[in-house]
């Protein structure tokens, strides 16, 4: 019975996290962490580590799908990723020193606001308009934003993907599919760094929960990414917004139950 409960919780967590990753580049920790903490009574720091580990393959397979459809800006993404990685490790270490859920509510609140934004004000930027942005300006913005996003990702284990999507669409002016593709490309590496940092500081995870969460998140991320790449831009904005809004509401519900 205990394994069955664990299986169901991990399946539901993987479903929400995978679709959030595939559609919007959302960090799996935004969904997995509160579910593991609330229903499996797992240590918050361990839960974040497992969630980040689940993010690695899910983001990688999503990034591959977006890359096949030519919806990734690797050149500028690598620059941002370098600073995200550095500050993810710094944030992860800072998180081990204080309460790891300190900024959780902020992350959930921002996820819901971003969902509403995509529903009411879709991102209709084209790839042609993206190409007109100054390369030097985008590079400077990538460095500054990468540092900020990395620290948030490492510190709370959630919000990195959400913040990245917001920055790529609103600050750097990316077309939505390219923004999500670039986001999951970066998140695959930041999640790996964050997970290794968490496990190095807290010890080995619960392997059963880890394997189940990784498999289910990977499966649904693949499904979400394939649907997203075939969707028309305005419809994708709505689907992304609805998923972010629902995930935000669900996570708030978990926090109230806990």
User: Which pLDDT score, from 0 to 100, does residue 117 have?
Assistant: 82
Residues 204 and 43: their CA atoms lie apart, in Å, by 12
What is the SS3 assignment for 205?
Answer: coil
More confident position, 105 or 145: 145
DSSP code for 134: -
Residues of the chain above pLDDT 90, percent: 23
DSSP code for 28: T
Residue 206 CA, distance from chain mean position: 22
Question: What's the token pair of residue 6?
Answer: 């664990």
- How distant, in Å, are the alpha carbons of 18, 38, 63, 155, 198 from that of 31? 9, 11, 20, 16, 17
More confident position, 223 or 253: 223
Q: What are the pLDDT digits (tens) for 51-96?
A: 889 999 999 999 999 999 999 988 888 989 898 888 877 877 777 7
Q: What are the pLDDT digits (tens) for 17-34?
A: 898 899 888 777 778 888
Residues 38 and 160: their CA atoms lie apart, in Å, by 22
User: Which pLDDT score, from 0 to 100, does residue 254 have?
Assistant: 67
Q: Which of 229, 221, 194, 191 is nearest to 62 (CA)?
A: 221
Question: What's the token pair of residue 254?
Answer: 């978990």
**Radius of gyration (C-alpha) of the chain in whole angstroms:** 17
């Amino acid at each position: 019975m205990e394994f069955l409960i664990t299986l169901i919780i991990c399946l539901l967590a993987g479903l929400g996290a995978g679709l959030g990753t595939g559609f919007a580049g959302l960090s799996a920790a935004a969904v997995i962490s509160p579910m593991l903490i609330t229903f499996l009574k797992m240590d918050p720091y361990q839960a974040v580590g497992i969630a980040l580990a689940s993010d690695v393959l899910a983001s990688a397979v999503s990034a591959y799908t977006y890359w096949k459809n030519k919806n990734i800006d690797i050149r500028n993404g690598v620059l941002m990723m370098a600073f995200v990685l550095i500050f993810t490790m710094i944030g992860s270490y800072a998180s081990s020193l204080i309460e790891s859920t300190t900024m959780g509510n902020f992350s959930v609140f921002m996820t819901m606001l971003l969902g509403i934004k995509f529903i009411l004000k879709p991102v209709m930027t084209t790839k042609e308009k993206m190409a007109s942005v100054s390369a030097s300006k985008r590079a400077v913005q990538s460095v500054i934003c990468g540092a900020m996003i990395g620290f948030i990702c490492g510190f709370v284990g959630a919000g990195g993907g959400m913040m990245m999507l917001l920055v790529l669409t609103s600050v750097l002016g990316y077309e939505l599919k390219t923004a999500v593709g670039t986001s999951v490309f970066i998140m695959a590496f930041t999640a790996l760094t964050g997970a290794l940092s968490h496990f190095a500081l807290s010890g080995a995870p619960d392997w059963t929960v880890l394997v189940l969460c990784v498999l289910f998140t990977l499966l649904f991320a693949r499904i979400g990414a394939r649907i997203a790449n075939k969707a028309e831009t305005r419809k994708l904005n709505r689907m992304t917004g609805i998923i972010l809004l629902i995930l935000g509401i669900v996570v708030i519900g978990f926090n109230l139950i806990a």
